[in-house]
Amino acid sequence: MAAQNEPRTEPRIPLSRERVLRAAVDVADEGGIESLTMRRLAEVLGAEAMSLYYHVANKDKVLDGIVDVIAEEINDVVDRIDVPSKGADWKKAMRQRILSARAVLLRHPWAPGVLPSRATTSPAIVQYFDALVGLMRDGGFSYDLAHHALHALGSRALGFTQELFDPGDGTGDQDPAALESMADRLPHLVGMLAEVAHDDPDSTLGWCDDQTEFEFGLDLILDGLDRMRETV
Amino acid sequence: MAAQNEPRTEPRIPLSRERVLRAAVDVADEGGIESLTMRRLAEVLGAEAMSLYYHVANKDKVLDGIVDVIAEEINDVVDRIDVPSKGADWKKAMRQRILSARAVLLRHPWAPGVLPSRATTSPAIVQYFDALVGLMRDGGFSYDLAHHALHALGSRALGFTQELFDPGDGTGDQDPAALESMADRLPHLVGMLAEVAHDDPDSTLGWCDDQTEFEFGLDLILDGLDRMRETV
DNA sequence: ACCTGAACACCGTTCAAGT
DNA sequence: ACCTGAACACCGTTCAAGT
């Protein structure tokens, strides 16, 4: 319609590693991680897919990069936390930090799926864990116990868990006959579901990882560590 | 070289869903999950990729299927376990079952990466969790506490954890200057690594998920649950 | 009923070429 | 220095066609 050398309405911002990564986070936030392709990413940036390779080595580095972006976002939040952590206070400080990290991840639902494979390569995540060890040291942990604690917390240290199996699943749309045969094969689960009012369907981070269950597991571990704290 | 209608040395076993899934497990075991493509799977079976679609709907169903195969393998193993589980014995019974499940997963290193996304759809895994709830009931758990317990255990209930960050990583090939700047930025981790003899590099399930750390975290949770067992 | 060839719509990525 | 067009080697999958 318009003339062929129409003046650009937007003067075309040049690409950069930072722009590419920020756009990648946006794409993943909006369309899920499987929607993040080099071609789609380029499209969002108003460029060709091949142009991205001038700023990032390949797609793997993009994934490393967006994990690091999120980890920096977490660090920005938790570094602003300034509560006492000496002695018995370690637990409250740790708890608050982990729940704050979780709040960030809730805004990036793709992150828990991508983090496990790239966390080790993210400097920001290493920084985060360094701070956690610092809190435990404040609480009187030996390095050895702090090390065990990191392993025991696993992904919970960053605010999420990998739930394997949603106990509230698969009973929704069943006819009575199927339900009865299920009661035969799965007596304990059926009993559990009948009693546990699983009517709180705000699954947050996917995987039925809802807030109260997350906190239950977190407190279980933190309490256990707290008991070991002074004996080791 | 040979005549064109040479008699087949092997009379060509017909495909079937079971053969496809078993071959898929083999491919993933040997080459990793990323090596499992429909074309490679067909090749292993001496067929064309398109022939697979007669026996499985699509690749997603193949992934669902191989998870179920592994879950059945786990059930076969744990169902042979027959130890007392009444009262205080629940913990030993649970522990043994989970560690046995872990032993199976150690033979299929790709499984922990695939399980989280498909566990809910595997009947065999649902069956596994039903048995776990049964053990906890034997131990006197309320359904409510058993439900919390499943969430608290998460993937640990099946014998693996998602480690985010290997505390023994990234210090191997560093020049002294880099090490010193690292000590500035990561004082606690550097201190921890200096003290914790992390010279046990038999990472088993990837993710630095080594056996003693797994058992430490598992016992921490089981002990915590055991304490709640009679008060709730 | 079971299998296949050709083809399609997608990937990530290379490389020589443009400005 | 930064970007791109054409092309390559791979995917999963459809569909009409073979036995």
Q: For B82-128, what is each residue's pLDDT tens digit?
A: 999 999 999 999 999 999 999 999 999 999 999 998 988 899 999 99
The B residues from 99 to 118 touching A (CB cutoff 8 Å) are 113, 115-117
When comparing pLDDT for B120 and A150, which is higher? A150
Residue A232 CA to residue A141 CA, distance in Å, equals 8
- Using a pLDDT cut of 70, give the percent of chain A over it: 85
Beta carbons of A152 and B187 less than 8 Å apart? no
Q: Is the pLDDT of residue B185 over 50?
A: yes
Question: pTM for this one?
Answer: 0.90
Residue A26 CA to residue B53 CA, distance in Å, equals 35
Beta carbons of A217 and B152 less than 8 Å apart? yes
**DSSP assignments along B43-105, one per residue:** HHTTS-HHHHTTTSSSHHHHHHHHHHHHHHHHHHHHHT-----SGGGHHHHHHHHHHHHHHHH
- Alpha helix positions (H), chain A: 17-31, 38-44, 49-52, 59-79, 90-105, 111-118, 123-138, 143-153, 176-185, 187-195, 211-229
Q: Is the pLDDT of residue B160 over 90?
A: yes
Asked if residue B183 lies in contact with residue B56, where contact means CB atoms within 8 angstroms, the answer is no
Residue B197's pLDDT is 62
Q: Which long-range contacts (CB under 8 A, 24 or more apart) does B119-124 make?
A: B119/A164, B119/A165, B119/B67, B119/B71, B119/B158, B120/A164, B120/A165, B120/A166, B120/A169, B120/A170, B121/B64, B121/B67, B122/B64, B122/B67, B122/B68, B122/B71, B123/B68, B124/B68, B124/B71, B124/B72, B124/B74, B124/B75
Q: The tokens 């290997």 sit on which residue?
A: B166
Look at residues A102, A85, A82 and name the one whose alpha carbon lies nearest to residue A229.
Answer: A85
Angle between helices B90-106 and B59-79 (to 10 degrees): 140
Q: Is the pLDDT of residue A123 over 90?
A: yes
CA–C1' span, A67 to D19, in Å? 53
Residue B3's pLDDT is 37
Lowest mean pLDDT of A45-49, A99-103, A227-231, name the range.
Answer: A227-231
Residue B87's pLDDT is 97
CA–C1' span, A61 to C17, in Å? 26
Eight-state DSSP code of residue A13: P
Asked if residue B229 lies in contact with residue B140, where contact means CB atoms within 8 angstroms, the answer is yes
Q: The tokens 């794409």 sit on which residue?
A: A27
CA within 13 Å, CB half, A178: 6
Residue B201 token pair: 């590099």
Residue of A nearest to B141 (CA): A192
Beta carbons of A129 and B155 less than 8 Å apart? no
Q: What is the pLDDT of residues A50-67, one digit of tens each?
A: 999 999 999 999 999 999
Min Cα–Cα distance to chain A from B18, Å: 23
Q: The tokens 């640990």 sit on which residue?
A: B156
What band does B220 get if pLDDT is binned at 50, 70 and 90?
very high
Asked if residue B163 lies in contact with residue B208, where contact means CB atoms within 8 angstroms, the answer is yes
Angle between helices B123-138 and B90-106 (to 10 degrees): 160
Residue A209's pLDDT is 54
C-alpha distance across the termini of chain A, in Å: 77
What band does A176 get if pLDDT is binned at 50, 70 and 90?
confident
Min Cα–Cα distance to chain A from B11, Å: 40
Residue B67 token pair: 């998870």
Residue B204's pLDDT is 45
Residue B58 token pair: 């699509």
Beta carbons of A192 and B224 less than 8 Å apart? no
Measured between CB atoms, does A195 come within 8 Å of chain B?
Answer: yes
Measured between CB atoms, does A98 come within 8 Å of chain B?
Answer: no
Query: What is the mean pLDDT of the segment spanning B49-78?
Result: 98
Lowest mean pLDDT of A13-27, A83-97, A206-220, B145-159, name the range.
Answer: A206-220
Asked if residue A210 lies in contact with residue B210, where contact means CB atoms within 8 angstroms, the answer is no
Residue A129 CA to residue B187 CA, distance in Å, equals 11
Q: Is the pLDDT of residue A7 over 50?
A: no
When comparing pLDDT for A179 and B71, which is higher? B71
What band does A41 get if pLDDT is binned at 50, 70 and 90?
very high
Residue A16 token pair: 């950069």
Q: The tokens 């986070």 sit on which residue?
A: A25
Q: Is the pLDDT of residue B8 over 70?
A: no
**DSSP assignments along A184-202, one per residue:** HH-HHHHHHHHHS------
